[in-house]
Amino acid sequence: MEFDYIIAGAGSAGCVLANRLSASGRYQVLLLEAGPKDRYPWLHIPIGYAKTMFHPRYNWRYYTEPDPGMNGRSIYWPRGKVLGGSSAINGLIYVRGQAEDYESWAHMGNKGWSWREVLPYFIRSERNVRGADSFHGGTGPQGVSDIGMPNTLAQAFIDACAEAGVPKNSDFNGESQEGAGPYQLITWKGRRCSSATGYLKPARSRKNLFIETDAQVCRIKFSGTRANAVVFSQRGKMKTAVARREVILSAGALQSPQLLQLSGIGDATTLRNLGIDVLLDRPQVGQNLQDHLQIRVMHRCNEPLTTNDDLRSWSRKIGMAVQYVAKRAGPMAVGINQAGAFVRTRADLERPDIQFHFAALSSDLPGSPLHDFSGFTSSVCQLRPTSRGHLKITSNDPLARPEIHPGYLSTEEDQKTVVAALQVTRRIAQQPALARFIVEEYKPGFDTQTDEALLEFARNNGVTIFHPAGTCRMGIDDNAIVDPSLKVKGVTGLRVVDCSIMPTLVSGNTHAPAVMIAEKAADMILNSV
């Protein structure tokens, strides 16, 4: 089997590349996905998030190593294993980050990655229900929709933020991100619009696009230092596909560095000890791991206005189902988090440093069974953590899970920010608009008052918000893994195109940036031919 381009991973970025690289009809494109096709109905229903959070068929279900910053806890890290990748199972939030994020990338020497230069790719990708303007696209593959009628509690959260001095903001992807308001979601006409739905589905009939599912990429083969083939396992058989032009890794921030290491690009000592021939001694592969750590503050509610209440009532559940089937509307059409906010923890900061996701439900962990009382959750995360982790392979077996060391709360700055974030959360909850619905703070509880106690709560209860990035860092320095054109340094014919290339984590959710990265990469690839 020979192709011009081979893409490893059909997630947020890989589906974009498959569409754009095959669009002209000039190139033979192979897209490999370790998971199955996206036929499971709950992958397409926005509220289906809870059904896929732990599903072994559609989720890699990673766990981190015991993390010192989390008091030795191992943290569950879900990742999509299906056409669409994590865009098929995520929380649906459409947020691009802050302009300053991309300006900082450019200031690091990454030419072409300034806000002015990446904005056109965000716009090109987007089909916003509000139509096109200077910040938004109206005809792109990525459907973006409004919540519709916000939940009563979600609106109360927005109003409480305003009472606490946080301005209202109806568009987090417009001129300014700061403020509180309803999120826009990657949905269209009441259904999830994953990258598989938005980008891959329209391209599936192309004769020059080949899509293989249940195809686990095992390693990249090289001729000298040129990547020229991919070895993959499919339904018990080992297969090899030859790439005439390029191999592109879009396997995500965990598996793209894993594949580089399995292919001989990584720390030489580690690779030799695992019996892997060293192609390039690159100890930085898998380093620079960053993630958003969410701390969930939960309240008991004095009125039956929550999803907890909806799902305890058969009549409400039937009503929700009827509303969705008949009109593609209601709670099943909007997902978990309906409102959010981008807030500064200190007045002297130039831009927001924390983000809120507000959900009119409560549970011990994301995706776990809901509490048997009326409850809601204000989840808060630090947008630009200074803590860094790493991952590494521990076997030459491509099916063996890599070790994931997130490094949460390993810096004093992050520790101070998480305490400040919890204090801001409480200040918002104390405002009249939200306080009138509160019976009590369920967690952490008002016996948790000191800075030390709040930090300890964060260590004992913090979880990922599913945004790993940075493990194949883009840069012009010797330690960077890819250059600004996303080519892997030291070899030819190989690129990485996903969130692993981020030098620093963006200030927000990562799906939209992953799509942008792939849109820009497709242009760079096609313009270099």
Residue whose pair of structure tokens reads 């500064």 in the numeric block: 344
40: phi then psi, degrees, rounded to nearest 5: -65, 120
* Catalytic residue flag (residue 467): yes
Catalytic residue among 136, 390, 405, 467: 467
28: phi then psi, degrees, rounded to nearest 5: -85, 125
Q: What share of the chain is helix, strand, coil (3-state, %, to 5)?
A: 30, 25, 45
Extract the tokens encoding 198. 């938005």
| Rounded-to-integer distance, Cα 21 and Cα 518, Å | 10
Residue whose pair of structure tokens reads 């568009």 in the numeric block: 171
| Rounded-to-integer distance, Cα 10 and Cα 324, Å | 28
Q: Which of 118, 218, 44 is nearest to 502 (CA)?
A: 118
Residue 83 in contact with residue 196, Cβ under 8 Å?
yes
- Segment (H or E) for 368: none
Specify the pairing of strand 375-382 against strand 354-359: antiparallel
Kindly compute the dihedral angle of the four CA atoms of residues 447, 452, 457, 458, in this order, to the nearest 10 degrees: 150
> DSSP labels for 249-278?
E-SHHHHHHHHHHHTTEE-HHHHHHTTPPP
Question: How many CB atoms within 10 Å of residue 399?
Answer: 9
Extract the tokens encoding 289. 């791991």
Going from the C-alpha of 88 to that of each of 72, 104, 197, 369, 504, the distances in angstroms are 31, 30, 9, 21, 24
Q: Active-site residue numbers?
A: 467
